[in-house]
Every structure is written in C-alpha cells, then in structure tokens.
Amino acid sequence: MEVKKGYKKTEVGDIPSDWDVRKFEEVMDGFSSGQTPYRAIKEYYRGDIPWITSGELNYNIITDTIEKITVDAVKRTHLKVIPKGTFLFAITGLEAAGTRGSCAITGINATTNQSCMALYPKKDKLITSYLYHYYVRYGNELAFKYCQGTKQQSYTGGIAKTLPIILPPTIKEQTAIATALSDADALINSLEKLIAKKRNIKQGAMQELLKPKKGWVVKTLKEVARFRRGSFPQPYGLDKWYDDITGFPFIQVFDVDDNMMLKSETKWRISKEAQDMSVFVPKGTIILTIQGSIGRIAITQYDAYIDRTLLIFESFVIPFDKYFFMITIYLLFEYEKQNAPGGIIKTITKEALSRFTISYPPIGEQHDIGAILWNMAMEVTQLELKLDKAKRVKQGMMQNLLTGKIRLV
C-alpha cells in the first residue's frame, strides 16, 4: 500500500519519517523482576516495605500495596527496592484480559513479585511517562504478538528486551505527548472520583428518604401495580425477526443501563413479523429486568417492543409517582441481591416479585422525594456521560499522538 508523504512503513504501522522504531533493550539501562518471599514464614509479611503484585498494575500510579514485607524478607529473597517513578508491566498470566497489557508507575519506593518487570529508560533516549502511555496503548497488542506459553502466556526477560517502541526524535516531543495524555488521565481520574462521591451521596439520600416513616403504607407489589412480562417469538436469532433498516426498537436486558436509563438506541430492531408476536409499550413506561442482570429499571424514552426477560408496569392501582416508584424498586432489588444465597440472583419470576412489599407515603410526598432522588440520579448520569466522552477523547489522542498523526512540537 502507498505510504503517505512524510511517513514511512514499519512493523508497527506508518510513522513520521523522523520517528523511529527501537527495541526495548536499545533504549533501556536495565530490566528487573522481583520474587515472592517464602509464604510459610508469616513474619515476612508483617513489615512496612511495600510489595507489589501484578494484580495491582491497573494503569495507575501505585501509592500503596495490599501486602507489605519486612527488611529480613527483602534480604533473604534478594529483592531490589524499586525507586518511585519506575515503570512496571505484567509479564505472566497474559492470557487473561485483565492482566494482558496491564502496567503502572510506582508512586512509592517498593519491591515486586516475579510477575512484575521494572524498566529503567536511558535518560537521553526515553522518558518513563512516554513509555507508560505507549504501553497503555500498545501493551495488549504486544502481549498477543510476542508472549509465549500454552496454558499460561508470559514474557521472558529475553522477549521483553526485543519488544518494539515507537519513538519521536526528541525528548521534548516525548514530554509534550506524555503531558497531554497525562492531562487527559487527570480529567478522567477527577471525574471518576466525583462520580464515586456523588453515587455515595445519592445512595445515602435514597436510604434515608425512602426509609418508612409514620403514616406510610405497606403493601405488596401486586396490590399497588399491574404488570406483565414482555414477549418475543421463539427461537431467538432467526433472520426473519430482525430488520435493522425499517424495524422497530426492541428492548432487551443489555439495553437497560444500571443507572435507571435506557441506551439511546436498542441493539436490535425487529421486523413486522416479530412485532406481531411481541409486546408494545409507549414512551414513558416503566420496565424492569428480571433475568440475567436483574433489577435494572428505567422509563422508556421512546416507543418500543419489550423482550420476555423484562417486566412491564402497565398501570398503578393507587396514585404513584413514577420516579419514587422506580427508585424504591431499584433499592428493593439491591437489598434482595445482597441477601440472596451466594449474593447472586440471575432470574426472578413475576410471581415472586408479586410478593415483594413496598412502603410509600401520600402522593405529594412521593413527588417531592422522587424529584430530589431523580435529580441526583440524573446528575450522576450526566457525569458518567462526560466520563465516557473523556475516555473516547483520550483513546483518539493516543491513536493520533503515539503514531505521529498529530505532532506536538
């Protein structure tokens, strides 16, 4: 294929003519991995020296560790204390998606186990922050291509030295790229912390505002609402049931987010033939997942047909505020899931749901509580949308900055 002017073809794709591809060993002063102190000597794990395992490499700066070891453990195991600011990546268990490509930078002086490898860049060739962002982008692909093993995929020290890295011509440009990507990470981290804080506030508010009080009524769900399951022609998967062009939205479990919202578009749209054997609901209907990821609840933002794995609340026997009802059911399922055998419920029947009890105040108080909690839920949802956008922007930045498509000089 023709290469764009000003670029050259390499094993890792087209890059600017003044960029280069080097092996890790060409731009590193050294490589090291750790060890696991003898587990039978429990005293080894009662110290205060941080000891990092590969499970703690989570595209992060490590400022604390799950386990800490003693000075004696360090000496007896011949461990090296790795300085703050060192790049680490996982070298064993790379067949697992959660470990493959995982890496971190140490925010403290620490030791590691044998599943972590520390890299020490040559200061005039490579900066650690650029190495980190490069590996965040390419680590998964490198592991697929270069690691060895049958049951357990791993890097050896020899393989790690031969891994390729794309390099801008100057440390100044590396620094500019790393700074831009670090700024994007800082925004993402701040949003994640804010979302966690808002979720905790919302959870506390829900538990307090929905706690039964004097004058509240307690009834079974069957006594306050009329509901039924959705439907879909069987068997699933036949081409005649689907129509991506002129078909109608068809809501399944995975179309309902865990934040009491529907996805903006359903994964599937169904044909006229399937519609005739499915259940239609208008915009504004409350639906609840009862199979798979149960307890997800939402109000439909568009007309749609509903799958048999969801329950449709068609009407209320008594006056009910929709938002108060939704959040009450959401909390009810959170309680049921936490107290179920093994902590997991994969399916719940319409009959079992009928026996659930619900506490509620007069309709005016329902409106007030529903409005407060719904506004809090929507605030979290808006932050989650902002976080999702920030992550997508970061992905685009990595793709453009780490291949030289956009230059920061």
Q: Are 17 and 121 within one domain? A: yes
Is 178 domain-assigned? no
Residue 377: per-residue pLDDT: 87
Is 321 domain-assigned? yes
Q: Are 15 and 126 within one domain? A: yes
Cα–Cα distance for residue pair 316/270, rounded to 1 Å: 29
Is 400 domain-assigned? no
Q: Are 241 and 143 within one domain? A: no
Query: What secondary structure does DSSP assign to 217-230, as a single string?
Result: EEEEHHHHEEEEE-
Q: Are 163 and 221 within one domain? A: no
Query: What secondary structure does DSSP assign to 135-179, as a single string?
Result: HHHHHHHHHHHH-B-SSS-B--HHHHHH-EEEE-SSHHHHHHHHH
Note whether 142 and 52 are within 8 A (CB).
no
Q: Are 109 and 15 within one domain? A: yes
Q: What is the pTM of this model?
A: 0.80
Q: Are 249 and 129 within one domain? A: no
Is 197 domain-assigned? no
Q: Are 125 and 251 within one domain? A: no
Q: Are 159 and 235 within one domain? A: no
Is 104 domain-assigned? yes
Note whether 165 and 137 are within 8 A (CB).
no
Is 371 domain-assigned? no
Amino acid code (one letter) for 197: K
Is 244 domain-assigned? yes
Of 107, 137, 167, at which residue does a domain stop?
167
Of 167, 193, 226, at which residue does a domain stop?
167
The candidate with the shortest Cα–Cα distance to 252, out of 329, 314, 307, is 307
Domain count for the chain, please give it.
2
Structure tokens given for 7: 């670029």
Q: Are 160 and 226 within one domain? A: no
Residue 295: per-residue pLDDT: 87
Of 324, 341, 360, at which residue does a domain stop?
360
Q: Around 135, how many Cα atoms within 13 Å sit in the side-chain half-sphere?
A: 30
Residue 343: per-residue pLDDT: 53
Three-class DSSP labels, 257-269 = CCCCCECCCCCEE
Q: Are 159 and 21 within one domain? A: yes
Note whether 327 and 370 are within 8 A (CB).
yes
Low-confidence ranges of the chain (pLDDT < 70): 1, 150, 337-346
Note whether 98 and 59 are within 8 A (CB).
no
Cα–Cα distance for residue pair 237/260, rounded to 1 Å: 27
Neighbours of 252 (CB within 10 A): 20
How far separated are the first and last CA of the chain, in Å rounded? 28
Cα–Cα distance for residue pair 9/243, rounded to 1 Å: 42
Q: Are 267 and 346 within one domain? A: yes
Neighbours of 269 (CB within 10 A): 18
Note whether 124 and 80 are within 8 A (CB).
no
The CATH number linked to 17 is: 3.90.220.20
Is 19 domain-assigned? yes
Structural domain span for residue 161: 7-167
